[in-house]
Amino acid sequence: MTTRTQQRSTPLWLLPFLAALIAALAAILGFTTASVSAAVGAETRVGAINVAGEVLVEPPQHVSAGQHPGPGLDQRPIVVATGVAANSVRTFASADAHVADAANRIEHAMPGRVVGVNSQVSMANGLSREVDIDLGDLLVQVKSGNARGLTGQLMSTTASTGRTAIGYAPDISEGAWLNAARQGVPIARTLDELLAIIGELG
């Protein structure tokens, strides 16, 4: 038996076709790589712009929002005080001992609270009586020395005017002060006590 060796020849059109296919694939791969690189580069550039653009913009410390800095930006701001006249402390005078001191201390602590000094106030019977310090809803009667009769005077003032009367007697005796306290009559022995009583009674 004769053995034949059959050789298959490669078609001539296959080699050019493979070469063209490889070239096309290489071109596609190169284009994709270039596109990815460009996108990454663009993203990097945009990110850099974003980071650089994140600058907190606030008005300068000495320029209020809505104002525009001018030539005098480095000058100190001018503060205009208002209401000074309305809150100015008045000074009172009186010929009676301790009255002016008490009135001025009250006015200093509570500006505008003092209505008058040595004032005439109306009573329920239509007449008037003098009080040392008029605080509107409160009245202050001041006594020097041992303050004899101050408790009765305060009770009478309250009953006739319908307003609470407070006593101020720097030199009142301990016994007289205790007697007034037992009857519920407020008498201050110091200016601090007087202010405290006024603050408590309103």
| pLDDT tens sequence across 83-117 | 444 457 799 999 999 999 999 999 999 999 999 99
* 22 phi/psi in degrees, rounded to 5: -65, -40
Q: Tell me the CATH architecture of domain 99-201.
A: 3-Layer(aba) Sandwich (3.40)
Helix, strand, coil share of the chain (percent; to 5): 40, 15, 45
Radius of gyration of the chain (CA): 50
Q: Report the percent of the chain where pLDDT is more than 90.
A: 53
Element (H, E) at 152: helix 150-161
Contacts with 157 (C-beta within 8 Å, 6 or more apart), sequence order: 129, 131, 139, 141, 163, 165
| Nearest CA-CA partner of 168 in 90, 93, 101, 91 | 101
Is the pTM value of this prediction over 0.75?
no
Looking at residue 13, its pLDDT comes to 59
Q: Locate the domains of the chain by residue range.
A: 14-65, 99-201
